[in-house]
Amino acid sequence: MAVISTTLCYPTPVSPTQGVFVQRRLAEIGKLTPLHVVVPMPWFPLLAPMRTELGEAAGITPPTWYQRMVYVPGVLKSLDARWYERSLLAGIDALKSAGRIKSVRLIDAHFEWPDGVGAFRAARRLNVPFVCTLRGKLVSQIEHSSKRTQIREMLLGADALISVSKSLAGLAREVAGKELAISVIPNAVDTAFFHPCDDREAIRKELGWPQNSRIVVSIGHLQELKGFHHLIELWPTVRKQAGDARLVLIGGAAGEPAYERRLRERIAELEMVECITLAGRQTPAQIAKHLGAADLFTLASRSEGWCNALAEALACGCPAVVTDVGGNEEVMNEWGLGRLVPYGNWEAFAERVAWALEEPWDRAKIAEFGGRRTWQQTAEECVGVFDRVRV
């Protein structure tokens, strides 16, 4: 009997860095219990051909199966969970037909919509236990009444729930309208990548950074909720207070094609082209170099579940100034790591960034704190939840 894990947010040949944090957790879980991953691949034939080869993936751990999922962009979004359910069931059937699994022990879903709701319905059809890990997507999806109703049904019907932060668990209880037993299991950091660099000056030179400038890095999808536009707006103020401070924004497109254009236009309008860089999507190794060599990490996001980029920055020894939203307070629970600023108080945010650039941070202590949680620890805690609901 195998655990079937499933999510849309997972690495593919086309997007190899997508959902790497989910893959790292599942790779460790796969060492403790038989596990296969089914990844529904959104597809609408009138728009574009399927760019990822379907079926069993080669060279991905744990064993992964890509399955086509009907997806209608922009309309009938309340039906996405239904398409997800059908895709997941088809993927499970394909794994059985291929002799990869004999039976399903439980279904383990990541994210609430459409992944969690669709997987919940598939589990009920198969009469197997269902576990869902709640992540930051819950915040945006419950704004839609139809999705919220379906997510509430999933939350109330799940055999077990895992949340990456206490704040997100509290939000789930609010949506459910009752007390829920939720295991809080934060993400970990892969210290094989995210650790202090041996020679910061050499890395800065490799990255082409001016040696006498202070470099601030922010990482996130190119989405409005990550707040890159706020950082751009406040950057002239930061430079007035801190001198030659440069801002490097790392992240790729994520469903908001106009957002990047908006950012570039505003950078030009503010005459900040020389000191604000849109660096695009980067590999984990490249991100680690940026964080290890930077003077400061910052993020002006409107909401967070458990911010992987923040945890990775700390593991690299990089102090942080971030908005006090979601699980950020749980990540930044020691004074010597940086500062939290209330969302929307951009004057205070700029002041904190400028102040942090002058502060003599203990980067070794920050790295020790940031790298303390391993994926093995996370996996063991997750398997403990699985064991409590297995039939």
Residue 55 lies in a domain: yes
Look at residue 147 in the predicted model and tell me its pLDDT: 94
Asked whether the beta carbons of 106 and 5 are under 8 A apart, the reply is no
Confidence class for position 254, pLDDT limits 50, 70, 90 = confident
Look at residue 75 in the predicted model and tell me its pLDDT: 64
Mean pLDDT value across the chain: 94
Are 167 and 252 members of one domain? no
Cα 151 to Cα 140: distance, rounded to the nearest angstrom: 12
Look at residue 46 in the predicted model and tell me its pLDDT: 58
Confidence class for position 78, pLDDT limits 50, 70, 90 = confident
Residues in the chain: 391
Confidence class for position 253, pLDDT limits 50, 70, 90 = confident
Are 336 and 382 members of one domain? no
Q: Which residues partner with 160 through β-bridges?
A: 131
For the cut 70, the answer to whether the pLDDT of residue 314 exceeds it is yes
**Mean local confidence (pLDDT), 220-233:** 96
Find the CATH number of the domain harbouring 243: 3.40.50.2000
Across 185-337, the runs of DSSP E, i.e. the strands, are: 214-219, 245-250, 276-280, 296-299, 320-323
Confidence class for position 335, pLDDT limits 50, 70, 90 = confident
Percentage of the chain modeled with pLDDT above 70: 96
Question: pLDDT tens digit string along 156-184?
Answer: 999 999 999 999 999 999 999 999 999 99
Residue 94, SS3 per DSSP: helix
The answer for 227, left when phi > 0, alpha when psi is -120 to 50, beta otherwise, is left
Residue whose C-alpha is closest to residue 343's, from 321, 358, 319, 359: 321
Measure the CA angle with vertex 220, ends 216 and 226; round to 5°. Answer: 95
Supply 309's token pair.
């980029």
Are 254 and 333 members of one domain? yes
For the cut 70, the answer to whether the pLDDT of residue 391 exceeds it is no
Look at residue 77 in the predicted model and tell me its pLDDT: 73
Are 273 and 359 members of one domain? yes
H-run or E-run covering 188: none
Supply 68's token pair.
């086509």
Look at residue 16 in the predicted model and tell me its pLDDT: 86
For the cut 80, the answer to whether the pLDDT of residue 74 exceeds it is no
Are 317 and 355 members of one domain? yes
Residue 312 lies in a domain: yes
Cα 190 to Cα 125: distance, rounded to the nearest angstrom: 36
Are 171 and 78 members of one domain? yes
Neighbour order of strands in the sheet with 55-56:
55-56, 64-70, 35-43, 2-6, 104-110, 130-134, 160-163, 182-184
**Mean local confidence (pLDDT), 205-209:** 95
Are 159 and 284 members of one domain? no
Residue 194 lies in a domain: no
Cα 318 to Cα 341: distance, rounded to the nearest angstrom: 17
Domain of residue 164 covers 2-188+374-389
Q: What is the domain count for the chain?
A: 2
Are 163 and 225 members of one domain? no
**Mean local confidence (pLDDT), 201-212:** 94
Are 140 and 244 members of one domain? no
Are 253 and 141 members of one domain? no
Are 155 and 136 members of one domain? yes
Are 365 and 380 members of one domain? no
For the cut 80, the answer to whether the pLDDT of residue 249 exceeds it is yes
Residue 193 lies in a domain: no
Residue whose C-alpha is closest to residue 335's, from 358, 373, 362, 306: 362
